[in-house]
Structure 1
Amino acid sequence: MSNRREFLTLLGTAGAVGLAGCAGGGGGSGSSDGSTDAATGASGDTATSTPTATSTPVPYGDGRLTFYMSPSEPQQLMESQYQPVKERFEEELGVTTQLQYAAGYSAALQSLASGTGDVGETGPFAAALGVANDRCDIILQRFGYGSWTYASVIVTQEGSDIESLSDLEGERVAFADRLSASGALYPLYMLKQAGLSIGDLPTDTGDADFTPQFSSHAEAFAALERGQVAAAGVGQFITLNDNRELIDGFRYVETTEDIPRAPIVVSPELSDEEQTAVKEAFLDAGDELYLGEDGEADTEDDLWFSDVREADNETYQPVVDVANDLGVSAELLDSGGS
């Protein structure tokens, strides 16, 4: 947590005041039961509500570990993909583990902040904001498609009149989640660098030189396929075919590379020992952790990432720098983006 104060300074302490633990729009929908820490106020055999010096803390707050999955794919598929992770936690940590399908990044971060969630997978931008507002701690970075980094693109149809980003003035542009690094933050940064006004995006939709619409990477690209938007700002991965090549019928208008791949985050309510145990459960696992419920490689339920390494706030400093350039407010965490 040594870099947290620096993150707060970089992302703006004014926007962070009063946010920790506060209920944001749509934030509570990621929790299955909305329950609070069952261990709070527990006192053993005595009538007092103040724990004694000999009280034994309940592991992971309520005696179980809750892992939040970001809704990048259908729930049933993601539960199959993360089944080996669930089993790994139960075996190595000795605690019942629940997989929870989050309503979005904001919902997952609120649950981690309150302690109703313990571990989560999220995007770089969401994690950076979460760290700055005491909603999560970064412990790991994921490796996928042969790299620790990835790319953001602004893509259009092959036959469109969009030759440069300036041609998007007055047009409708699709983006992913407002808290997505590759699907919102970096595309908006590219548009701003090209001289277009982005207004108060991604926090507010007003006063931009184009009309934005936010959804998910898949839906943003689908909107482009249907001809409903002139371009889409998304992670490059959603535009590629099985051979890792751009899908026929599309072309890139602009690309930004070397974005640090997404992290694994934990609740700041976990003890240092619990955070370390979660980290080591990932780091010490074999390849089978990434093969999904069927245990076979190159099948539908494989995780998109195939390795992890230790990471912290500094790993995602480039994302923070871009957020600062855009003047992103911490209020974005409670804007209801999904």
Structure 2
Amino acid sequence: MAGRRKFLKIAGATGIAGLTGLAGCTGDGGDGGSGTTEARTTTETSGGDTTTETSDQMSFGDDGTIDFGISPSVPQSDLEVQYAPLEDHIGSYLQENYDVPSGLSVEGTIGSNYSAIIQSLGQGTLDVAETGPFAGALGVMSDNAEIILQRYGYGGWTYKSIIAVPNDSDITELSDLSGKTVAFSDTLSTSGALYPLYSMSSEGGLDIGNLPDGNGSQAEFDARFAGGHVGSYTLLEQGQVDAAAMGGFVRDTSTGPSPEEFDSVATTLHEDSGLPRAPIVVSPELSDDVKTAIQEAFLQGPDSIYHGADGEEGTDDDLWFSDVREASQEDYQSVIDVANELGVGTEIFEE
């Protein structure tokens, strides 16, 4: 890895410009970034006089809305119905248990990529977000985010990264990817970019050049970023690439193709396991008591918040994860170690 240059830079839209609000969600846009605000209440005494008291009331961007960022890690067509019960629970839990603005609501916002989500947290235009392990860890390192929770999904707290090739491909090992076209999901994806590129370099002996922050002209292969894990698989299915990197859940679950459909199209060339599942992160602009309140809202949620708008487990609008637990940067150290091996630093969030 001697002489290896900066590994990543932001790709695509960044900041709030790269975010799109979910249709049907309530709440106004805000400037973000605050913890508590002084609220005045007026009471009348028995003698008819009035007194004015002040109390510290939690504030979320001074707009009465918790702005919740959602990363494009899974197909987005059903995100509104998938996340609606979770968003409703967070708003209701905070209203019932904390001093928050009247009518507090949660507004879901879809990010165009991971870096848009992380930078918006750093700017305070998002309060809380779900994101990938690599993006979350680097968000912490760059003071753009704080990790508060880890998610449980598909039967475990860890998951896999895979590189797949068509069933009729003559590619049998990573070194065979030299001169080929390879799809990746997102520049800040742990399973769809970081681990595959590391394996291609360390085990396959391939020169990754200036990918993914450059145009890839120095790499031994042609890289294409699909904007999502299923999108990476789709490019492979359509014959547009020779190999595709993605999270193992695309192969092993019905996220995108069914396992049977995947097997009819693709063969796993390489697999990395033990990746920590994706975190929930908050904006560092929030006060500690607000961060704790958001964390508690997730931890105290019933199972039904993961079942989608229809409230039934095992249907198409279920969330991919079904539980959360407390977490911090330490839980994602293995991801940071891989990033360090490739020379990744917090400068990836600099334009």
TM-score normalized with structure 1 length: 0.83
Q: 1:137 aligns with which of 130, 146, 154?
A: 146
1:28 is aligned with what amino acid? Answer: I
Q: 2:194 aligns with which of 185, 190, 206?
A: 185
Q: 2:206 aligns with which of 196, 211, 219?
A: 196
Q: Is the 8 A contact 1:113 1:134 kept in 2?
A: yes
Matched, 1:59 2:69: no
Q: 1:84 to 1:326 in 2, by over 3 A?
A: same
Q: 2:328 aligns with which of 298, 301, 312?
A: 312
Matched, 1:36 2:36: no
**Residue of structure 1 in register with 2:319 after alignment:** 303
Matched, 1:258 2:274: yes
**Residue of structure 1 in register with 2:217 after alignment:** 206
**Residue of structure 2 in register with 1:83 after alignment:** 84
- 2:264 counterpart SS class: coil
Q: 1:39 to 1:169 in 2, by over 3 A?
A: closer
Q: Is the 8 A contact 2:13 2:113 kept in 1?
A: no
Q: Is the 8 A contact 1:140 1:312 kept in 2?
A: yes
Counterpart mapping for 1:260-279 below 5 A:
260-279=276-295
Q: Which runs of 5+ in 2 are unaligned?
A: 1-5, 22-27, 41-53, 96-103
**Residue of structure 2 in register with 1:223 after alignment:** 235
Q: Is the 8 A contact 1:221 1:239 kept in 2?
A: no
**1:34, 1:179 → 2: CA distance?**
26
Q: CA deviation at 1:301?
A: 0.8
Q: 1:28 to 1:334 in 2, by over 3 A?
A: farther
Q: CA deviation at 1:202?
A: 2.4
Matched, 1:333 2:349: yes
**1:331, 1:149 → 2: CA distance?**
27
Matched residue pairs, number? 307
Q: CA deviation at 1:226?
A: 1.4
1:131-168 per-residue CA deviation (whole Å, 9 max, x = no partner) reads 01111100000001111000001110111010111111
**Residue of structure 2 in register with 1:5 after alignment:** none
Q: CA deviation at 1:330?
A: 2.7
Point out 4+ residue stretches in structure 1 off by more than 3 angstroms. Answer: 31-35, 37-40, 42-45, 54-58, 72-76, 240-246
Aligned-residue CA RMSD in angstroms? 2.7
Q: CA deviation at 1:73?
A: 4.1
**2:329, 2:39 → 1: CA distance?**
38
**1:74, 1:253 → 2: CA distance?**
24
**1:106, 1:234 → 2: CA distance?**
18
Q: CA deviation at 1:333?
A: 3.2
**1:321, 1:74 → 2: CA distance?**
29
**2:339, 2:310 → 1: CA distance?**
40
1:26 is aligned with what amino acid? Answer: T
Q: CA deviation at 1:172?
A: 0.7
Q: CA deviation at 1:206?
A: 3.4
**1:255, 1:39 → 2: CA distance?**
43
**1:38, 1:187 → 2: CA distance?**
36
2:237 is aligned with what amino acid? Answer: E
**1:209, 1:146 → 2: CA distance?**
36
Q: Which runs of 5+ in 1 are unaligned?
A: 1-13, 46-53
Q: Is the 8 A contact 2:74 2:230 kept in 1?
A: no
Structure number with bigger Rg: 2
Higher strand share: 2
- 1:82 counterpart SS class: helix
Q: CA deviation at 1:25?
A: 4.9
**2:127, 2:176 → 1: CA distance?**
45
**Residue of structure 1 in register with 2:24 after alignment:** none
Q: 1:222 to 1:247 in 2, by over 3 A?
A: same
**1:138, 1:37 → 2: CA distance?**
18
**Residue of structure 2 in register with 1:150 after alignment:** 159
Q: CA deviation at 1:37?
A: 3.6
Counterpart mapping for 1:84-103 below 5 A:
84-94=85-95, 95-103=104-112
2:290 is aligned with what amino acid? Answer: E
TM-score normalized with structure 2 length: 0.80
